[in-house]
Amino acid sequence: MHIHTKQEEVIAHLNQTLRGWSLYYRHVASSKVYTYVDHRIFRMLWTWARRRHPHKPAKWIKAKYFHVIGTRKWVFAIKTKDRHGQTVTRSLAETRRAIKRHVLVAGKNSPMDPALRDYWRKRARWRSELRYDANPVKRSVAARQNWRCPVCHASLLNEEPLDLHHLQAVARGGTDELRNLDLRHKACHYNAHELARDYSVRTA
């Protein structure tokens, strides 16, 4: 990473990879791998910070770039402003995840068997909850909606991509609070915005 790149940009860039990687490998015994990756990432970030400030002591660099957040120490983090102008802390995603074993399909259960509809519904729910384990906001909103799309009323468990939607747009004073959010299929989200845009054009 270039030494002139801002810290929040480094965090955003790495988090995209780290979250996906850690979720992918949490189904196997990967504690040694997590430890190794944590160490390598720390060494690279420390080298990056030292290169940015070659004349500063290590204690100064630690205080500027690495912080204590909850029970985590030496967290690569920075305080910045969100889109509402509020102070927030951006931090590097934690690579370690609770290991959750992949559950095989029981016996010869087939999704085509109507008698096993409840089994496959529960399995789809379990897979979706795992999928959004790293995003508690989406999980909370989906659970509030009983895992159904408010636009098409179909299940959110059908493996389609999902989007968060602001009931009151941020540009009109809406917030990121849970009560102002719902979870929709990505296609439903896009179509709803297109319909709203067409209506505003026709009535302008």
Task: Judge if 126 and 47 occupy the same domain.
Answer: no
* Per-residue model confidence (pLDDT) at position 176: 84
pTM of the model: 0.56
Task: Judge if 60 and 141 occupy the same domain.
Answer: no
Task: Judge if 129 and 85 occupy the same domain.
Answer: no
* Per-residue model confidence (pLDDT) at position 85: 74
Task: Judge if 155 and 87 occupy the same domain.
Answer: no
What interhelical angle do 31-52 and 58-65 show, nearest 10?
110
Note down the domain range covering 81. Answer: 7-91
Domain boundary among 91, 126, 154: 91
The residue count for the chain: 204
Q: Are 109 and 116 in contact (CB under 8 A)?
A: yes
Token output for 86:
């509020």
How would you label 157-192 residue by residue, b for 16+ Cβ within 10 Å and e otherwise? Answer: beeeebbbbeeeeeeeeeeeeeebbbbbbeebbeeb
**Alpha-carbon gap, residue 179 to 123, rounded angstroms:** 28
Q: Is residue 100 part of a domain?
A: no
Q: Are 133 and 19 in contact (CB under 8 A)?
A: no
Task: Judge if 130 and 64 occupy the same domain.
Answer: no
Q: How many domains does the chain have?
A: 2
* Per-residue model confidence (pLDDT) at position 78: 92
Q: Are 114 and 122 in contact (CB under 8 A)?
A: no
Token output for 192:
């709803």
Task: Judge if 124 and 82 occupy the same domain.
Answer: no
Mean pLDDT by 10 residues, the chain (204 residues): 85 85 68 82 94 94 92 90 79 70 72 77 70 73 88 84 87 85 90 69 56
Task: Judge if 70 and 120 occupy the same domain.
Answer: no
Q: Is residue 98 part of a domain?
A: no
**Alpha-carbon gap, residue 127 to 131, rounded angstroms:** 6
Q: Is residue 118 part of a domain?
A: yes
Q: Is residue 102 part of a domain?
A: no
How would you label 14-29 residue by residue, b for 16+ Cβ within 10 Å and e otherwise? Answer: beeebbebbbebbeee
Task: Judge if 80 and 125 occupy the same domain.
Answer: no
Task: Judge if 73 and 151 occupy the same domain.
Answer: no
* Per-residue model confidence (pLDDT) at position 80: 86
